[in-house]
A and B are shown apart, each in its own frame.
Chain A
């Protein structure tokens, strides 16, 4: 079983890196982009076949390390 964890900044948290990327896209002449927020993606190989167990492990991984919930949200998708 595989999973993808996406960590993004919460709304309202200033994202200077996203802003810089947004500026770079504009300077490249890429049209139609209103704003950019940068996040992180983790592709995780699971050592279990039990979906409930996997969900619990991934939640623990996010809460304990992958996301800092002061500023970040996370989303877990199990394939």
Chain B
């Protein structure tokens, strides 16, 4: 599998993302935001975390309109895979690739802690290495992760089972206490209609080594890479 990790001015998690993808067995190339094309043969585009353009205007707003995003939109329209994490999720929402928006956390605080997520479905290329309903132990670090969408969009996301992950406790229970940023329906991550684009606020790429306290994040990258091993 070949992954392209996009780098915008202010991205700062691209190194961790490259490491997680490489560990899972993907070839990885970094792509600068001003480029107009993705590397030939790109299977997966990843938008990493950070503070693109200093979060000016709205988080992800300016990056969402960068030249390279036209290529990402075309890649997604062809059925290509796209993953956005943290600021990457914000960029996907701002670019129109995913619905809704990430607003300021309800408690107005930057939150940075370990966080359990409930895997809402495991029949996707992003989550097949997890069990449905499994509580995975990753972490969050964001000030604007409060997922918000209009009633129609929320109804569609739930009706079509497009919620990827929800904030939960260690037992997999989706409780108000576990939803520290105030996201609607405790949404931590969502899929596009065709399940080929996924955005999430938490960082699976942070938890891929026992040395730093956990490896639950590996499943996501291994899911992606194993999907391609089978297809090839």
B91-140 with Cβ < 8 A to chain A: 94, 99-101, 103-108
Interface residue B156 (Cβ < 8 Å from any Cβ of A): no
User: How far apart are B101's CB and chain A's nearest CB, in angstroms?
Assistant: 5
What separation, in Å, do the CA atoms of A65 and B94 have in the docked complex? Answer: 9
Decide: A17 and B101 in contact? CB cutoff 8 A.
Answer: no
Q: Which chain B positions have C-beta within 8 A of A14?
A: 103, 106, 148, 182
Decide: B101 and A68 in contact? CB cutoff 8 A.
Answer: yes
User: How far apart are A19's CB and chain B's nearest CB, in angstroms?
Assistant: 8
List residues of B whose CB falls within 8 A of some A CB: 57-58, 61-62, 65, 94, 99-101, 103-108, 146, 148-150, 182
A5-22 with Cβ < 8 A to chain B: 13-14, 16-17, 20
Q: Which chain A positions have C-beta within 8 A of B108?
A: 16-17, 20
Decide: A68 and B106 in contact? CB cutoff 8 A.
Answer: no
Q: Is the interface of A mostly helix, strand, loop or mixed?
A: helix
Decide: B148 and A68 in contact? CB cutoff 8 A.
Answer: no
Partner of A64, one of B58, B65, B99, B149: B65
User: How far apart are B179's CB and chain A's nearest CB, in angstroms?
Assistant: 14
Q: Which chain A positions have C-beta within 8 A of B100?
A: 70
Decide: A13 and B61 in contact? CB cutoff 8 A.
Answer: no
Decide: A68 and B150 in contact? CB cutoff 8 A.
Answer: no
Across chains A and B, the number of contacting residue pairs, with CB separation under 8 Å, is 36
User: How far apart are B77's CB and chain A's nearest CB, in angstroms?
Assistant: 19
User: How far apart are A14's CB and chain B's nearest CB, in angstroms?
Assistant: 7
Q: Which chain B positions have C-beta within 8 A of A65?
A: 57, 61-62, 65
Q: Which chain A positions have C-beta within 8 A of B101?
A: 68, 70-71
A14-B103, A17-B108, A20-B108 known; A68+B65 contact, CB < 8 A: no
A43-79 with Cβ < 8 A to chain B: 64-66, 68, 70-71
User: How far apart are A48's CB and chain B's nearest CB, in angstroms?
Assistant: 22
What separation, in Å, do the CA atoms of A68 and B146 have in the docked complex? Answer: 15
A16-54 interface code vs B (CB 8 A; 1 in, 0 out): 110010000000000000000000000000000000000
User: How far apart are A17's CB and chain B's nearest CB, in angstroms?
Assistant: 6
- Which has the most chain B C-beta neighbours within 10 Å: A64, A65, A70? A70
Decide: A16 and B105 in contact? CB cutoff 8 A.
Answer: yes
Partner of A16, one of B65, B94, B104, B149: B104
A70-B101, A70-B149, A71-B101 known; A16+B106 contact, CB < 8 A: yes
What separation, in Å, do the CA atoms of A72 and B143 have in the docked complex? Answer: 19
User: How far apart are A13's CB and chain B's nearest CB, in angstroms?
Assistant: 7
